[in-house]
Structure 1
């Protein structure tokens, strides 16, 4: 049997090349996704600033909840949890402790700022100058020697610089004042290494010091787990669909050969073993090569994510054996399953029927395939209804792509029924239509990857545009301010002549239980003059220091109404209880919850947010607030030209911030890069399938040449066939995307109308058309170079 398998592979190189390419690409994609997931699970960040301290005492950076079963669940906090300064004295009195170094860390003007008393943690030493002593004095790291800090005087330069962070030192008193956390510390370094048990804090040693130093890295690990899992699951479904389609086309082209084997007494079991052996050989050859290519792809993907700011550079990619091994096994199993599934009918029916179908394909589908197609269609309908009811990104993101893929699988199963060629005028149109009517299965095998490409691309792109457009609409309607200020204070803005109201705004997130909600913190005075949240219940007149306004979507999830009490955890894990004063409609533009500024400002890493100003003159504001950036209303709420680095661990299809003042969410560019891999795989499948389909028709095209058809007419006929398949695929793929997007938009925005930019949609269809026509024309031209008589005499 092994000898026969090898002869078959040698005899039909072109046909098996398509299956080899499909499996190789599948292995590469699964490997790359697996490396992201592995990095999220096993990746570690080495400490930099805390590398010189053997023990770090800091706050627990997780929100924890104990279930009724006694099992504890934890979620990473989005803001740093600080600890009481009094712990430093207690730790210093612990036997064995020789020295403690207190640390205050906060972002400032693009730097990571500290008090000079914590310089010994790394340690930092002065290369020149002196330590900061008075307000307005700073020390910069060696990388910024010669730099100027607006409003401050550089009095010293360190001899060291950290690889992943720009460091700035204030005097101890000034740093604690600017951090806005009186009586609290970021961390405490302990020398030498001793066993400690500290109340109200956690003890970190070894690699755990890196996790507490770089909170973004820990959140990035969680993001990679989510992204790698979602992308890997999508990749597996797409890969299986593509591989099954490729093997189905290969088996279809060999139907006569397999029928002859049956006719000369080969048993179904022997034929299955032969086909399985071929698939196994292709999988074993493609798997290692694909896994190797996948490692390179994973390295590139990690580098792109680092460049986009979604993954910190000091979270290195884990290159381990598990993803390539898993990809190899998945490739082999997918090939075996696809080959067995594709050959099921031709192997199971009687030899005479097999020969009859090889000569004249059956005009109707088997009932089992129709039943499977209807069952998958029913599943797609259910998923669509479920998607329309989902109102959060975490819930809707995985279901969105799954819904589109399920509809595509239904199209693949029912493809020969749906592949009805329409009438095309002219001689070549007549030939194309006759060919397509006679080869519906072949047409269906071409339509499926084209439909998959269009549906996946449109869904991936227009989920983003739909959410961005909805967010933009709410901001356009809700922002009443004339100016938006960055780097200034509301108190300073209110003193400017002509200013009617100034609202300070901070962006953060909170947790209710362990569920995360986006939130904004605002000062209540003059709020109505600067923003309109679209209140639908209650009144912002009741908004005070211990109250909150809740978006209608969040109110439904939390099951709260006006007057109810709501317990939550602020960004740094501090518990708080607020009373719901109002429910508003514009949650996409302004966040799930609106909280008092006084409640939140002491619990965020960076208390400097934005200020919305009603009235006043821009020039006067810039003069009164030196160093601040003042934007006009139109500029401030215009869609961003580029997306800021992500700050949330949102899933693969999450939205990007639309404007300068929108709630911070994940980076859309990251999602485009991630889904771009799936789209590229679909594009390769289109080219692969069309090339296989065209190459297998060399004898048919030779016959047409012999009966007088010119090369130009043959090429025109093939282009017409491809255009017909493309038109059908465009209708099906667009329909799948629209149904999926309408359901997504209904749940997430309340409107069933997604936003589809016409030029972007046209570019998608044009790209699909160019791919399809090119993949048909190139092999056809090679075939037509061979004289017809020679082509008929050669074996495929």
Structure 2
């Protein structure tokens, strides 16, 4: 039986090629994802580990878990702690680090680096006058206000040389600095495409902390002292506001964080690989069902000469095992190429990835082979079992070919129950997990019902098919002759288009909701913020308020606090002008009374806390001081404006370092290119500052949604490609099955063009059937998901992208036409006499 199975595989190379390709694509996606994420993760981990070469124990600020007196950040480390750390037994040296954001403009005024990756820090010279972390490549270290050093990659990209004047910004205002040195670094942030600017320590403290304060203290162990021993000595002398961590632990934590950061990408890509494999299951099952049907008499003869049912089933499974193994191995090799290609593609987009080898772990090899083999064998098991159950005499007479009424009733009943249960769960739940389960059940239910649905849906195309004469009539009859086969072929395309349509509906609806929210909630003409979304200097708000043409402006400032004992971020605004800049519906009260000691709160927070107009609450501010706040207004919150707002004068006395998140501006002349330009020039043509009107805000969000949607389209295209292979496979094998019939049609006068047209129309009808089901299901799932989104996004409303849905249906038609090219040509070239004699 083993030899028979191998002989059958080799005898049907062309038929099984499509099946191998379907499995291969899914496996390649799985292995490519694992190779890509492992390679990137390991490259970043090794790069980050180099950053700990000059530290054995790191000292960082620490807040006690039970410290509720000061809701702000933990106190910074002091010069006294640095001196203590340098003197403990086993310490060779101690380095104080101050860091924050620093945007670098190139010579054309454009931002260098990757936004959040634009960092600033201090150059801390040791006893030899050098900072071992940053070896100087050219020039000297910065020694006072107005001097900086840049990493070599940033200097090259921006075209700067020692002696040039560099425009930078750390929190808004433009600073012009003299470039005194260029250094090299193993900093992972720089390796990833960011930038690093160094100041002398006093200047860095002035910009990022306070004089004498540090964000971190790095201690180097003396020869013969272990990291754990040094940590123990440091713990003896440092206060509870400082926490020590060994460099090994920091490296392990960072490696873990990098791995976790890659998990999201890996999970998403594997999910789409799973979709491709799920679609591939239909093709594999379809292929083996047709192969078994074509070899019914052969299998019956095997049974007649003594083969048992198990042996027949086993022979089919052995074929599947061979196919799965070949597909698994080739898919693994293709996946390694995909992983390398993805890394190169990521690098070509401007993202700089640390150098490192391509990582193909044993787990990737095992997973790829297991996926290919298990998926193929499972998909082939049912056809093999069904073939083994056919009595030899019945098989030779082909009386088994027609499905029994009972089996069809059972199938349709199961499909109806699954579809109804899935639809009910999808519509009636508030849980994403339950909705996902419902969507899966609905897809499976519709798949089970597709043989039943195929006849009425395809029959609806009869008027159009009649236009093509006898070829159209025959194509329609062929499409419904074997409903199960048609259903399995169409379902592969249906799944891909369901997901594509559903995502498109959700994305378009969310975009419109955000547009409406921006229009409804904001009266301001412009919102000014840092391009990196880091804190903005209060000098920006002061500067804007004095500009000619500015009608009203207000900062939005966040301050950590505790309200009635619970953590709550307060948003500081200008109580006198905020009403002119926002458009919020108040259930009670208003912005009119928002003065010192007063607060307005969104309706959800008020309801959860049991607050009403006039309620007085206890507040603990950032510096630990306490006070009272009176609720002077309750408004309807949304995704853009929510939380607890107070006048800036309420929180300013308690802030250790005053910064704004953004500034809202209303101009006397409204929104125009000239007013935006005047604001930009007034703020020093600063590339680190972005000035956005409502349309810009909406467009930014639209770009993110479009980027995400295009990525999803690209990933789902894999499922559609697999579906195309399924249509080609089904048609090619169907042509083989109907060789005698096609020969007869040729003999009675149907020419080669008519045969080609018949096969192409059959493919077109099947593909459009899958497309109609996919688009319909996608709209339903998009609507159902929208009901869930609408509960947290009040402006959400269903938007049907008719143009894109038309494109998706057109895509289905194109799939049908392309998939039929080879099978139609093969059918037309059949020798009619040889075909008539064929069994």
Answer whether TM exceeds 0.5 for this pair: yes
Q: Is the 8 A contact 2:572 2:651 kept in 1?
A: no
Q: Distance in 1 between matches of 2:219 and 2:766?
A: 70
Q: Does 1:158 align with 2:182?
A: yes
1:294-309 alignment to 2 at 5 Å? Answer: 294-304=335-345
Q: Distance in 2 between matches of 1:294 and 1:100?
A: 47
1:499-648 alignment to 2 at 5 Å? Answer: 499-505=550-556, 521=571, 523-525=573-575, 526-534=577-585, 549=601, 552=604, 587-590=638-641, 609-616=661-668, 618=675, 621-628=679-686, 631=691, 633=693, 635-640=695-700
Cα deviation code 1:578-623 (max 9, x no counterpart): 9998776563345788798897999999957432201256265345
Distance 1:170-1:311 versus aligned 2 partners, 3 A rule: closer
1:338-737 alignment to 2 at 5 Å? Answer: 338-351=379-392, 356=398, 359-360=401-402, 362=404, 365-385=407-427, 389-390=430-431, 396=432, 404-420=439-455, 421-422=458-459, 423=462, 424-425=465-466, 426-486=469-529, 489-505=540-556, 521=571, 523-525=573-575, 526-534=577-585, 549=601, 552=604, 587-590=638-641, 609-616=661-668, 618=675, 621-628=679-686, 631=691, 633=693, 635-640=695-700, 657-658=701-702, 669=707, 672-673=710-711, 676-698=714-736, 699=739, 700-737=741-778
Distance 1:468-1:403 versus aligned 2 partners, 3 A rule: farther
Distance 1:80-1:694 versus aligned 2 partners, 3 A rule: farther
Q: Does 1:292 align with 2:333?
A: yes
Q: Distance in 2 between matches of 1:566 and 1:298?
A: 56
Name the SS for the 2:231 alignment partner: coil
Which of 83, 94, 101 is residue 89 of structure 1 equivalent to?
Answer: 83
Q: Is the 8 A contact 2:581 2:665 kept in 1?
A: yes
Q: Does 1:765 align with 2:765?
A: no
Distance 1:238-1:371 versus aligned 2 partners, 3 A rule: farther
Q: Distance in 1 between matches of 2:818 and 2:799?
A: 30
Cα deviation code 1:74-104 (max 9, x no counterpart): xxxxx99884335423423322113211111
Q: Distance in 2 between matches of 1:693 and 1:62?
A: 69
Q: Is the 8 A contact 1:59 1:201 kept in 2?
A: yes
Q: Is the 8 A contact 1:445 1:689 kept in 2?
A: no
Q: Distance in 2 between matches of 1:577 and 1:211?
A: 45
Distance 1:630-1:92 versus aligned 2 partners, 3 A rule: closer
Partner residue of 2:150?
140
Q: Is the 8 A contact 2:47 2:354 kept in 1?
A: no
Q: Distance in 1 between matches of 2:322 and 2:742?
A: 31
Partner residue of 2:56?
55
- The alpha carbon displacement at 1:493 in A equals 0.9
- The alpha carbon displacement at 1:431 in A equals 1.3
Partner residue of 1:127?
138
Q: Distance in 1 between matches of 2:25 and 2:251?
A: 36
Q: Is the 8 A contact 2:134 2:185 kept in 1?
A: no
Distance 1:276-1:204 versus aligned 2 partners, 3 A rule: same
Cα deviation code 1:623-656 (max 9, x no counterpart): 542234574635533413xxxxxxxxxxxxxxxx
Partner residue of 1:14?
14
Name the SS for the 2:731 alignment partner: helix
Name the SS for the 2:166 alignment partner: coil
Q: Is the 8 A contact 1:248 1:343 kept in 2?
A: no
Which of 110, 119, 124 is residue 117 of structure 1 equivalent to?
Answer: 124
- The alpha carbon displacement at 1:259 in A equals 5.7
1:171-190 alignment to 2 at 5 Å? Answer: 171-180=200-209, 184-190=213-219
Which of 84, 92, 98 is residue 98 of structure 1 equivalent to?
Answer: 92
Distance 1:747-1:190 versus aligned 2 partners, 3 A rule: same
Name the SS for the 1:254 alignment partner: helix
Q: Is the 8 A contact 1:130 1:156 kept in 2?
A: yes
Distance 1:274-1:155 versus aligned 2 partners, 3 A rule: closer
Q: Does 1:191 align with 2:220?
A: yes
- The alpha carbon displacement at 1:764 in A equals 2.7
Q: Distance in 2 between matches of 1:168 and 1:787?
A: 77
- The alpha carbon displacement at 1:733 in A equals 0.7
Q: Is the 8 A contact 2:290 2:733 kept in 1?
A: no
Structure having the higher Rg? 2
- Give TM-score scaled by structure 2 length: 0.76
Q: Does 1:46 align with 2:40?
A: no
Q: Which moved more, 1:560-569 or 1:453-462?
A: 560-569
Distance 1:614-1:752 versus aligned 2 partners, 3 A rule: closer
Name the SS for the 1:139 alignment partner: strand
Distance 1:584-1:318 versus aligned 2 partners, 3 A rule: farther
Q: Give the alignment's Cα RMSD to 1 decimal.
A: 4.5
Distance 1:427-1:689 versus aligned 2 partners, 3 A rule: closer
Aligned residue-pair number = 738
Q: Is the 8 A contact 2:61 2:76 kept in 1?
A: no
Q: Which runs of 5+ in 2 are unaligned?
A: 67-71, 105-117, 168-174, 531-538, 670-674
Q: Which runs of 5+ in 1 are unaligned?
A: 66-78, 391-395, 571-575, 641-656, 660-665
1:321-340 alignment to 2 at 5 Å? Answer: 321-340=362-381
Distance 1:45-1:536 versus aligned 2 partners, 3 A rule: farther
Name the SS for the 2:45 alignment partner: coil
Q: Distance in 2 between matches of 1:201 and 1:434?
A: 80
